[in-house]
Chain A
């Protein structure tokens, strides 16, 4: 059995230190977080509140007219528990005109549009609240590419992107995220009845173990099969990993000059701070 358990105190120390440092050294003191009602954004919000103080965190709820009431309620639970500042900005009026223009639009397209509309709201609040957008994407979804590019993956810093979903739940439990948020079925809530695990075709508990072997332990797909994972499952996940790599990197720039951003113009973002 692969044990993905983490030391939650140590995780909390590192992640709150990361949030505090990376926000303040960029010249800011505030954070903006999109709060969906799910466990990932609840955890990010808790960490940010702990790192820089709840009064400096703006949690934004951005429901669409079809969003589940539970999602809104659960987000409110987090806001009330932490005492962070909050704002509710429905995206319905932003996205419905585009949906009306393309009545045949697939659920995936509609989901992407909604995710990107939320990104627009968050980055607008980033300017207005003078805070950096704190990301809410976990390691599982980043590796699987289960995310909308320039949508929910867009952020200024991401404290939880190296934690598998299983570990997000463990840390959320220890940090006091309400149990109903941790225990409910994960869902992007982009359409009624959508669940992550239903859409992906496997559970987070299963895929986290497999990803841990493939990525962290550098197992080959064949070695994962020998370790007891079904061949089709390994193949599907391995394909997703590779196919979605474009979502994890900046777009390639065609090199022409002797010094090109991304290839031989190399600096950390913290350059000079």
Chain B
């Protein structure tokens, strides 16, 4: 079975959801015309990243009654979509979120569980912390979604793996930094490395959709990637430029890689759980 996955590494207008929505819909059409089955947008793709006090004013609910999601759900008749947004729950907590939409249904919503609040980041000041990490079923198999800092911690990808995810969707709005003599920013190098490492360690597909553009002095570097279960690079978007990058995932590669390298079969979850309980003192 094949999955044609498209990564939309877009620039966004800060706090202007309507304009960003139009870009989403236009790219959904383009991706559909290019034969894509699934289109993945970056973190906070409907709002922009450094929202600060805008966070509460750009929030939407991922449901049919929401005017923004109504149009995205309509677009999901043609191809599945992963979109980044601010989710306001019924108790009016604001989350950095990604929703998986398919055939006019909201299949899954992930709330970012790790909010970086150090250095140039200030997410914990403005957003609520997500509290669950779940894989979910799609027409292409079982997937998991994580947002940026989530996959800088080893446990969320690990939990998704144990929960059955064979395709990892990572989304980011990663500020570029670390200009040295090499032709790649340090931040871009670090992220690409860990994406490849997860593909290797979990013998799974790992796709990363990262935005481009600037917000004040921050640059976002793009270079979205898809790695296969052998850790091989299937596709990579350009640096710094908007692009629709399409990768063809041969899902039968999971069978071949895991026949060679049965890391999942041999994973000792009971041992992990026992040791975790000991470590946290239960």
Q: Is B279 an interface residue (CB 8 A)?
A: no
Majority secondary structure of chain A interface residues (helix, strand, loop or mixed): loop
Q: CB-CB < 8 A to B183: which residues of A?
A: 7, 9-10
Produce 1/0 per residue, A15-54, CB < 8 A to B: 0011001100000000000000000000000000000000
Q: Which of B91-99, B129-137, B212-220 forms contacts with chain A?
A: B212-220
- Chain A's closest residue to B216 (CB) is A268
Q: Is A199 an interface residue (CB 8 A)?
A: no
- Chain B's closest residue to A21 (CB) is B214
Contact for A7 among B13, B15, B181, B216, CB less than 8 A: B181
Q: Is A179 an interface residue (CB 8 A)?
A: no
Interface size classification for chain B: 20 to 34
Q: CB-CB < 8 A to A5: which residues of B?
A: 180-181
How far does the alpha carbon of A18 sit from the alpha carbon of B183 in the complex, in Å?
Answer: 18
In contact, B52 and A272 (Cβ under 8 angstroms): no
Produce 1/0 per residue, A83-103, CB < 8 A to B: 000000000000000000000
In contact, B185 and A272 (Cβ under 8 angstroms): no
Q: CB-CB < 8 A to A232: which residues of B?
A: none
Q: Is B182 an interface residue (CB 8 A)?
A: yes
In contact, B179 and A270 (Cβ under 8 angstroms): no
Q: Is B164 an interface residue (CB 8 A)?
A: no
How far does the alpha carbon of A13 sit from the alpha carbon of B185 in the complex, in Å?
Answer: 12
Q: Is A215 an interface residue (CB 8 A)?
A: no
Q: A6-B179, A11-B179, A13-B240 are in contact. Are A272 and B214 (CB under 8 A)?
A: no
- Chain B's closest residue to A269 (CB) is B216
Residue of A10, A11, A13, A265 with highest tally of chain B CB at under 10 A: A10
Q: CB-CB < 8 A to B50: which residues of A?
A: 268
- Chain B's closest residue to A161 (CB) is B217
Q: CB-CB < 8 A to B16: which residues of A?
A: 272-273
Residue of A6, A9, A22, A271 with highest tally of chain B CB at under 10 A: A271
The smallest C-beta distance from B81 to any residue of chain A, in angstroms, reads 25
Q: CB-CB < 8 A to B15: which residues of A?
A: 271-272
Q: Is A81 an interface residue (CB 8 A)?
A: no
Q: Is A3 an interface residue (CB 8 A)?
A: yes
Number of interface residues of A (CB under 8 A): 24
Q: A21-B213, A265-B53, A272-B13 are in contact. Are A14 and B180 (CB under 8 A)?
A: no
Contact for B214 among A7, A18, A267, A271, CB less than 8 A: A18
- Chain B's closest residue to A266 (CB) is B52
Q: CB-CB < 8 A to A3: which residues of B?
A: 181
B residues 163-194 touching A (CB-CB < 8 Å): 176, 179-185
In contact, B53 and A17 (Cβ under 8 angstroms): no
How far does the alpha carbon of A272 sit from the alpha carbon of B58 in the complex, in Å?
Answer: 11
A residues 239-273 touching B (CB-CB < 8 Å): 264-273
Q: CB-CB < 8 A to A7: which residues of B?
A: 179-183
Q: Is B54 an interface residue (CB 8 A)?
A: yes
Produce 1/0 per residue, B1-37, CB < 8 A to A: 0000000000001111000000000000000000000
How far does the alpha carbon of A13 sit from the alpha carbon of B184 in the complex, in Å?
Answer: 12
How far does the alpha carbon of A266 sit from the alpha carbon of B54 in the complex, in Å?
Answer: 8
How far does the alpha carbon of A162 sit from the alpha carbon of B179 in the complex, in Å?
Answer: 10
- Chain A's closest residue to B125 (CB) is A266
The smallest C-beta distance from A255 to any residue of chain B, in angstroms, reads 16
Q: Is B239 an interface residue (CB 8 A)?
A: yes
The smallest C-beta distance from B126 to any residue of chain A, in angstroms, reads 8
Q: A13-B240, A14-B240, A18-B217 are in contact. Are A267 and B52 (CB under 8 A)?
A: yes
In contact, B54 and A17 (Cβ under 8 angstroms): no
Q: CB-CB < 8 A to B216: which residues of A?
A: 22, 268-270
The smallest C-beta distance from B184 to any residue of chain A, in angstroms, reads 8
- Chain B's closest residue to A14 (CB) is B219
In contact, B14 and A271 (Cβ under 8 angstroms): yes
- Chain B's closest residue to A158 (CB) is B217
The smallest C-beta distance from B76 to any residue of chain A, in angstroms, reads 28
Q: Can you list the 4 inter-chain pairs with the closest CB atoms, starting with the nearest?
A: A266-B52, A21-B214, A5-B181, A268-B216
Q: List 12 A-B contacts (CB under 8 A).
A: A5-B181, A10-B183, A10-B185, A11-B179, A13-B239, A268-B52, A269-B216, A270-B214, A270-B216, A271-B15, A272-B14, A273-B16
